């Protein structure tokens, strides 16, 4: 069932979410309103300077290439300027949102190669952790790898198929696939060192180092059925990280696997503990 913008705005206000949902359009987008203070610009630069020292060492080449092409670290990005560059690279663009939005409009944006990015930034007191996804997570984490056409194709297909898969009872299972790839995915191409590309890792100072470098990180070869059956952590380090050999593997698995069959087989079963995969 769809939810109206007005009802969703009231729900978010009641939950104490900080985005201004009262100015949402019908598709839950807003204007970016590039009126950030010097203090906000300083927080952005602090976050980017600190995290770039890690991503240069631990991020996959696809992420680093996207970051270089889009130029996201000198100042808070102008969404329109970045969208112009991104369209030329992969056909994607950025749309501003006040924070988390309902699943249906989120999927619709993805299906049309639009990525929703929060238009506000965390404070200096929240450099290490923030409960809600903010601009730094959305932009620094997600946007660079969207410059890669194959990953962009996967994200578009995800948006196109998600609603039908949820209708089959696959809500949690399809969410796990997004979580373990777009948010916490690792990549190890043949003959290359392990690297990260997921946005939750790219925007985390501590978990990025843990996921890639710690001997305690549980790194598992990617298998789409296993991913869809495995629970995940919301407010602590993941207890499993799935490792792709390429974005082509991810795209092909999503495009060619019997996702409906996977959901039918396992939707009524208890999900797997990450420690056991």
What is the DSSP secondary structure assignment for residue 76, as one 8-state letter? S
The tokens describing 196, both together, are 């990260």
Express each pLDDT in 49-103 by its tens digit.
Answer: 999 999 999 999 999 999 999 987 889 999 999 999 999 999 999 999 999 999 9
For tokens 């990617």, name the residue: 222
Length of the chain: 277
3 pLDDT more than 90: no
Q: What is the pLDDT of residue 22?
A: 87
Answer whether residue 207 shows pLDDT above 90.
yes
Contact call for residues 237 and 201 (beta carbons, < 8 A): no
Choose among 110, 68, 76: nearest CA to 93.
110
As a whole number of angstroms, the distance between CA 178 and CA 166 comes to 13
- For the residues 11-15, what does the mean pLDDT come to? 84
- For the chain, the straight-line distance linking the first and the last C-alpha, in angstroms and rounded, comes to 34
Separation CA 277–CA 221 (nearest Å): 10
Give residue-wise pLDDT tens across range 107-138: 999 999 999 999 999 999 998 888 888 999 99
Strands (E), 36-182: 93-97, 114-118
pLDDT score for 1:
54
- Is there a contact between 239 and 218 (Cβ–Cβ < 8 Å)? yes
| pLDDT at position 132 | 86
Element counts in the chain: helices (H) and strands (E): 13, 6
């Amino acid at each position: 069932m769809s939810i109206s913008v007005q009802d969703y705005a009231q729900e978010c206000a009641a939950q104490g979410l900080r985005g201004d949902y009262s100015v949402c359009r019908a598709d839950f987008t807003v204007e970016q309103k590039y009126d950030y203070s010097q203090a906000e610009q300083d927080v952005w630069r602090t976050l980017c300077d600190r995290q770039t020292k890690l991503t240069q060492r631990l991020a996959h080449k696809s992420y680093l290439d996207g970051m270089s092409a889009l130029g996201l670290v000198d100042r808070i990005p102008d969404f329109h300027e970045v969208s112009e560059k991104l369209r030329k690279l992969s056909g994607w663009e950025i749309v501003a949102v006040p924070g988390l939005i309902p699943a249906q409009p989120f999927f619709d944006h993805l299906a049309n190669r639009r990525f929703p990015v929060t238009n506000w930034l965390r404070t200096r007191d929240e450099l290490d952790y923030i409960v809600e996804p903010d601009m730094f997570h959305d932009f620094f984490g997600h946007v660079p790898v969207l410059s890669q056409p194959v990953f962009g194709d996967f994200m578009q297909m995800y948006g196109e198929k998600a609603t039908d898969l949820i209708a089959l009872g696959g809500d949690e299972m399809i969410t796990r696939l997004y979580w373990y790839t777009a948010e916490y995915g690792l990549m190890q191409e043949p003959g290359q060192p392990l690297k990260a590309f997921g946005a939750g890792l790219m925007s985390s100072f501590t978990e990025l180092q843990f996921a890639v470098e710690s001997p305690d990180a549980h790194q598992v070869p990617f298998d789409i059925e296993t991913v869809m059956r495995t629970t995940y952590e919301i407010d602590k380090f993941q207890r499993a990280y799935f490792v792709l050999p390429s974005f082509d593997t991810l795209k092909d698995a999503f495009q060619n696997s019997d996702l409906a069959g996977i959901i039918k087989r396992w939707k009524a079963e208890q999900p797997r503990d990450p420690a056991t995969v």
